[in-house]
Amino acid sequence: MSKPREANKNSYWSNYASRIILNTASHPIEYAKVLIQLGYEPIPPRPCTTFFGKPALKLPNIFDYVKHIKTVDGFAGMYRGLVPKLCGSLVCAVTTEKVLQRYAGEVSRDDDEEHQQNVEDPRGKFVKDLKRDIVSRTSAIIISHPFHVITIRMMAQFVGNETRYMGLFSSIGEVYKENGILGFFSGLVPRVLGDIIFILLASSLTFAVNSYVFEEPDLQMYTNATMSFLASAITYPFQVVSNCMAVSNSGLAAGMPPLMPMYSNWSDCWFDLSNRQQLKRGSSLLIRYYTGPQVIISGRPVPLPKNDNMNLSY
Q: How many CB atoms lie under 10 A from the CB of residue 75?
A: 9
Packed helices 3-37 and 122-160: angle between N→C axes, nearest 10 degrees: 50
Q: What pLDDT sits at residue 253?
A: 95
In a domain, 1, yes or no: no
Q: What pLDDT sits at residue 308?
A: 43
In a domain, 166, yes or no: yes
**Enclosing domain of residue 260:** 6-34+79-280
CA 59 to chain CA mean position, Å: 21
In a domain, 298, yes or no: no
Q: How many domains does the structure of the chain reveal?
A: 1
Q: What pLDDT sits at residue 301?
A: 65
CA 238-242-243 angle, to 5 degrees, is: 120
pLDDT tens for each residue of 44-87: 888 877 777 777 888 999 999 999 999 999 999 999 999 999 99
Tell me the pLDDT band of 189, cut-offs 50, 70 and 90: very high
- Across all residues in the chain, what is the average pLDDT? 85
**Cα 38 from Cα 81, distance rounded (Å):** 15
Query: Is there a contact between 291 and 312 (Cβ–Cβ < 8 Å)?
Result: yes
**CA 107 → CA 8, 100, 102, 110, 132, distances in Å?**
19, 10, 9, 5, 10
Ranking 100-109, 151-160, 198-207 by mean pLDDT, the lowest is: 100-109
In a domain, 136, yes or no: yes
In a domain, 118, yes or no: yes
Tell me the pLDDT band of 306, cut-offs 50, 70 and 90: low
In a domain, 108, yes or no: yes
**CA 47 → CA 41, 44, 290, distances in Å?**
16, 10, 10
SS3 50: coil
pLDDT at residue 256 above 90? yes
Ranking 7-21, 38-52, 119-133, 144-158 by mean pLDDT, the lowest is: 7-21
Ranking 30-34, 139-143, 309-313 by mean pLDDT, the lowest is: 309-313
Query: What is the pTM assigned to this prediction?
Result: 0.86
Among 77, 43, 247, which Cα is nearest to 161's? 77
Query: Is there a contact between 16 and 90 (Cβ–Cβ < 8 Å)?
Result: yes
In a domain, 292, yes or no: no
| CATH number of 225's domain | 1.50.40.10
In a domain, 192, yes or no: yes
Ranking 4-8, 179-183, 243-247, 298-302 by mean pLDDT, the lowest is: 4-8
pLDDT tens for each residue of 114-134: 555 555 577 888 888 899 999
**CA 298 → CA 47, 152, 301, distances in Å?**
12, 42, 8
Query: Is there a contact between 64 and 45 (Cβ–Cβ < 8 Å)?
Result: no
**CA 296 → CA 106, 272, 304, 314, distances in Å?**
65, 27, 10, 20
Query: Is there a contact between 147 and 95 (Cβ–Cβ < 8 Å)?
Result: no
